[in-house]
Amino acid sequence: MPKLVFPGAANSCLVRRRFATEIRKEVIDGLLPERFNKGVNDLGVRPVGQPQVTELTVEDGQPLHMRAVFEYVPDFSIDGYKDVTVEKPSVEVTDEEFQTDLEQAAFNLQLKEVPPADDPPYHGMELFS
């Protein structure tokens, strides 16, 4: 049977060789999201953000193989949260604790003199220079 040649038609080998990189990229760009979504659905997880592809194998005539790392929303339940009790610690401060903390604060600020607790704030205080 004679080979038909159409004017302006390019040889398929020539087209494949010339545009192989672009065709491969387009196919991969189309397949990656599809395969990722299928894998995520098979796992039953909800991804957060975009996956990071760590391994990609594309060979002519072979299935696409990829490995991706991604974050996902974990399964959790808040059932029973109303039954949780939290013990509130005592927040009472004694005069002695207050005076000790005041002296420590004065020391930290490098004050020459610590005023008695009944003095107005900063009365008689001098800072080191």
Task: Look at residue 50 and tell me if it is in a domain.
Answer: yes
The fraction of the chain above a pLDDT of 70, given in percent, is: 76
- Tell me how crowded residue 11 is: count the other CB atoms within 10 A of its CB: 10
Say yes or no: 23 and 61 in one domain.
yes
Whole-number Å distance between alpha carbons of 63 and 25? 15
Q: Give the tens place of pLDDT for each residue, 8-43.
A: 666 777 777 788 788 888 888 888 888 889 989 999
Rounded to an integer, the average pLDDT of 54-62 is: 84
Say yes or no: 30 and 57 in one domain.
yes
- Dihedral sign from CA coordinates of 47, 50, 54, 58: positive
Tokens found for residue 76: 């959790």
Say yes or no: 16 and 60 in one domain.
yes
Which one has a higher pLDDT value, 44 or 59?
Answer: 44
Task: Look at residue 58 and tell me if it is in a domain.
Answer: yes
Say yes or no: 52 and 19 in one domain.
yes
Q: Return the amino acid letter for 51.
A: P
Task: Look at residue 116 and tell me if it is in a domain.
Answer: yes
Provide the domain limits for residue 17: 12-73
Say yes or no: 91 and 54 in one domain.
no
Task: Say yes or no to pLDDT of 58 above 90.
Answer: no
Say yes or no: 17 and 63 in one domain.
yes
**Hunting for tokens 């005592």 — which residue is that?**
90
Say yes or no: 59 and 105 in one domain.
no
pLDDT, position 129: 44
- Dihedral sign from CA coordinates of 43, 49, 53, 54: negative
pLDDT, position 115: 59
What is the Rg, in whole angstroms, of the alpha carbon atoms belonging to the chain?
37
Domain count for the chain, please give it: 2
pTM listed for this prediction: 0.47
Q: Give the tens place of pLDDT for each residue, 71-120.
A: 999 988 889 889 999 998 888 888 999 999 988 888 877 655 555 656 66
In 3-state terms, what secondary structure has residue 79?
A: coil
